[in-house]
Amino acid sequence: MMTSAEKAGTNAAMQTPPVVSPQDWEAARQQLLVKEKAHTRARDALAAERRRMPWMEVTKTYAFEGPGGKVSLVDLFQGRRQLIVYRAFFEPGVFGWPDHACRGCSMVADQVAHVSHLNARDTTLVFASRAPQADIARLKQRMGWTMPWVTVTDSFDADFGVDEWHGTNVFYRDGDRVFRTYFIKSRGDEQMGGTWNYLDITPLGRQEVWEDSPKGYPQTPTYKWWNWHDSYAEGAAPDKKWVEISDAGEKAFREEAAEGRD
């Protein structure tokens, strides 16, 4: 435990920013906000470009082990059009085995938002490792993870660039045809976990009307599809009260943006 003198010495060594008045602090925040908004717009533009990337058809057959037995790549979609597969390292030879998965992969798993929000956008998230299902079930229970998690049994990891390092592959299903649409790894994976970041790497995106997407892509009114994670119902119309609230919030946001106050 550090003494007061040691703490004082540590603080003294830090070259902290100046302490200013509330007015100067707000001025500095507004100056930085200009760059932050430019970053947001650039991120949206990058996601729009990502939705226009060419697709690669997956013609090879792959088999996984799930809680109920053998499943195919098509099965992993669970009937949805989009599939995100994160390759997590949990297997003999990985540091932490058999009690834990890789520390980095475990941090990614800890950050995963409730998957019902992805499901509501026709998207399934699956983790994949080489550990047997019994070990995966034990790990999920210990760590409180609930996302689907399958066992890789063939060359899927090598074929999709995740045999030696973690990574996230994105696929689109058209009937029984499957296409690889995107891949991200290394530091690109560190931002994964949130619903928006996941949707932004999918070919259909967030599917809201404000997005710049190719013609004919599915889009619904902004905010209206949002729901509590235990209240999504397939085909249900947006709640009328939520429509009123979100409309009012969006109107206020647009007015602030027009006046430069956001």
Per-residue pLDDT at 8: 55
CATH number for the domain including 84? 3.40.30.10
The domain in which residue 176 lies consists of 56-191
* Reported pTM: 0.91
Helix (H) or strand (E) holding 33: helix 22-50
In a domain, 15, yes or no: no
Upstream peptide bond of 98 is cis (omega within 30 degrees of 0)? yes
Counting the structural domains of the chain, the total is 1
In a domain, 31, yes or no: no
What contacts 187, CB < 8 A, 6 or more positions away?
none
> Which residues in the chain come in under a pLDDT of 50?
5
In a domain, 181, yes or no: yes
Report the C-alpha gap between 5 and 7 in whole angstroms. Answer: 5
